[in-house]
């Protein structure tokens, strides 16, 4: 899976590659539920996509609960979640409708994978409707600590629904630990934190870690040469071919630390005389389809900061910071990744940030430097990156300066380690781990 933007927290599962072992334990199909859709993979056919129909009047309030409540609850960046009874009622209805629609289309034992915080009640409704299919819930967002979670009036209902799954998966071990700690306070549960198992009534749930991956790195045979990518991107931006390019690709919201990233670049430019003429930071900040009030405020702050920093260029031929909502014309994400000297991820709190892995996967030339926030789940795996505290502007600026000055030899050494990790834990590995773990939990059909 190679994301075209941003982060993976709300990425649809249709882009994820499933490498299913040939001998499946009696399943006729795998059904992945995400973003209001059921992606059905039959046993002997190419994947087909079937959308779960949701009435417009249900979809919008449903998204409000997930967007205004669950999203800020799970991202520890100082936002206050909004929990409204009407929104949760609609969320319940939409989840019930999704579960009903999926079961109506399954007529033989299947593996069901729920991968969307908008569908957290689907496991409960699947069981309530009599489903005995193997069921996995993968939670793509960070999982909050117990105290923040207690702000949600319906937290116990959400937790009981997740425990209706045979397996609950998370991006990081920290998220898994937070979930298990939370579950310990839920009446009727017995938690084995060491084994990652929860007993709830007569049902047992395994709690596992499945860090999401991208498509594996390739040898570059199907890609444009790095030189051509560099020339294309710089031409589209009106830059000289020798301009050093720092790139960031993120959602436009408060979780991505965009203002802090610009301030770090400002600090970098202040410590490098003449750098305004030689270094450019391209920040792709893609707004959500329905921005929240917080998103709009973040966008306003970002534009003000970028304008202030660029004003210090003192007549430079081009602005030091280029802010765009979409990729340049004719440029896809792999091309942009191959054109970058530095890939800058400054997430304050993110489930994984697959964009970091996509950058690594694109760099078969073993060049380029990844500057990666410790707030991104990817930092737990990509230790050969330059890891930063995204809120410490001076530290981030020093990391950017080190990245721009890094020798070709050190770049290659680091990139080989990064690419080995991305190749080992790619999208296919993600699917295999889930399937293999379900085999252990549910060895018989279904």
Q: What is the pLDDT of residues 244-281, one digit of tens each?
A: 999 999 999 999 999 999 999 999 999 887 666 699 99
Q: Assess contact for 20 and 30: CB atoms under 8 A.
A: yes
Q: Assess contact for 29 and 110: CB atoms under 8 A.
A: yes
Residues 132-144 pLDDT 10s:
999 999 999 999 9
State how far the Cα of 261 lies from the Cα of 249, in Å rounded to an integer. Answer: 11
At 230, list the tokens.
Answer: 């560099």
State how far the Cα of 101 lies from the Cα of 119, in Å rounded to an integer. Answer: 13
State how far the Cα of 184 lies from the Cα of 102, in Å rounded to an integer. Answer: 31
Homologous superfamily of the 13-213+426-440 domain (CATH)? Glycogen Phosphorylase B; (3.40.50.2000)
Q: Assess contact for 351 and 171: CB atoms under 8 A.
A: yes
CATH placement of domain 226-423: 3.40.50.2000
pLDDT at 42: 55
From residue 332, alpha-carbon distances to 5, 14, 68, 358 in Å are 10, 19, 31, 12
Torsion of CA 33, 37, 43, 44, to 10 degrees: -150
At 85, list the tokens.
Answer: 């009874």
Residues 326-346 pLDDT 10s:
999 999 999 999 999 999 999
> Hunting for tokens 């702000």 — which residue is that?
151
pLDDT at 2: 31
> Hunting for tokens 């304050």 — which residue is that?
348
**β partners of residue 19:** none
3-class state of residue 201 by DSSP: coil
Question: Roughly what angle, to the nearest 10 degrees, separates helices 408-424 and 354-362?
Answer: 120
pLDDT at 3: 35
Global pTM?
0.89
State how far the Cα of 359 lies from the Cα of 370, in Å rounded to an integer. Answer: 8
Query: Alpha-carbon Rg of the chain, whole angstroms?
Result: 22
pLDDT at 55: 55
pLDDT at 292: 85
Please, where in the chain does CATH 3.40.50.2000 lie? 13-213+426-440, 226-423
Low-confidence ranges of the chain (pLDDT < 70): 1-29, 35-62, 218-222, 274-277, 314-316, 443-446
State how far the Cα of 337 lies from the Cα of 291, in Å rounded to an integer. Answer: 26
Max CA distance (Å), the chain = 71
State how far the Cα of 144 lies from the Cα of 439, in Å rounded to an integer. Answer: 29
HSE on the CB side for 438, CA within 13 Å? Answer: 31
pLDDT at 37: 63
Torsion of CA 185, 186, 190, 193, to 10 degrees: -50
From residue 138, alpha-carbon distances to 14, 124, 165, 277 in Å are 14, 14, 10, 46
CB under 8 Å to 139, separation ≥6 — which residues? 117, 120, 162, 168, 169, 170, 171, 175, 179
């Amino acid at each position: 899976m190679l994301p075209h933007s941003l982060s993976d927290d709300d990425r649809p599962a249709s882009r994820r590659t499933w490498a299913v072992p040939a001998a499946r334990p009696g399943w006729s199909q795998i059904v992945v539920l995400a973003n209001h859709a059921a992606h059905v993979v039959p046993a002997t056919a190419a994947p087909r996509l079937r959308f779960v129909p949701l009435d417009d009047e249900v979809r919008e309030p449903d998204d409000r609960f997930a967007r205004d409540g669950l999203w800020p609850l799970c991202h520890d960046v100082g936002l206050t979640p909004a929990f409204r009874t009407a929104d949760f009622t609609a969320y319940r209805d939409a989840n019930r409708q999704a579960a009903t629609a999926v079961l109506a289309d399954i007529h033989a034992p299947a593996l069901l994978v729920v991968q969307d915080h908008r569908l957290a009640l689907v496991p409960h409704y699947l069981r309530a409707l009599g489903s005995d299919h193997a069921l996995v819930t993968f939670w793509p967002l960070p999982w909050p600590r117990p105290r923040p979670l207690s702000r949600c009036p319906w937290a116990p209902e959400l937790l009981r629904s997740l425990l209706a799954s045979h397996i609950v998966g998370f991006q990081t071990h920290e998220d898994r630990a937070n979930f298990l700690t939370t579950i310990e306070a839920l009446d009727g549960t017995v938690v084995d934190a060491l084994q990652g198992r929860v007993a709830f009534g007569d049902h047992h749930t395994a709690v596992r870690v499945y860090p999401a991956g991208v498509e594996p790195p390739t040898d570059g045979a199907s890609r444009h040469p790095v030189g051509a990518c560099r020339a294309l991107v710089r031409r589209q931006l009106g830059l000289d071919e020798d301009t050093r390019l720092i790139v960031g690709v993120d959602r436009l919201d408060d979780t991505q630390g965009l203002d802090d990233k610009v301030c770090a670049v400002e600090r970098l430019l202040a410590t490098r005389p003449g750098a305004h003429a030689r270094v450019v930071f391209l920040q792709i900040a893609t707004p959500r389809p329905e921005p929240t009030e917080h998103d709009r405020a973040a966008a306003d702050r970002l534009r003000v900061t970028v304008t202030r920093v660029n004003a210090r260029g003192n007549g430079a031929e081009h602005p030091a910071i280029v802010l765009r909502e979409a990729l340049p014309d004719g440029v896809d994400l792999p091309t942009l990744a191959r054109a970058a000297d530095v890939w800058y991820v400054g997430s304050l709190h993110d489930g994984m940030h697959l964009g970091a892995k996509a950058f690594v996967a694109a760099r078969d030339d073993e060049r380029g430097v990844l500057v990666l926030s410790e707030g991104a789940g990817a930092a737990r795996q990509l230790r050969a990156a330059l890891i930063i505290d995204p809120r410490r502007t001076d530290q981030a600026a020093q990391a950017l300066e080190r990245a721009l000055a890094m020798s070709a030899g050190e770049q290659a050494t680091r990139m080989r380690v990064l690419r080995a990790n991305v190749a080992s834990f790619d999208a296919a590995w993600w699917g295999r781990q889930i399937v293999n773990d379900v085999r252990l939990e549910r060895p018989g059909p279904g």
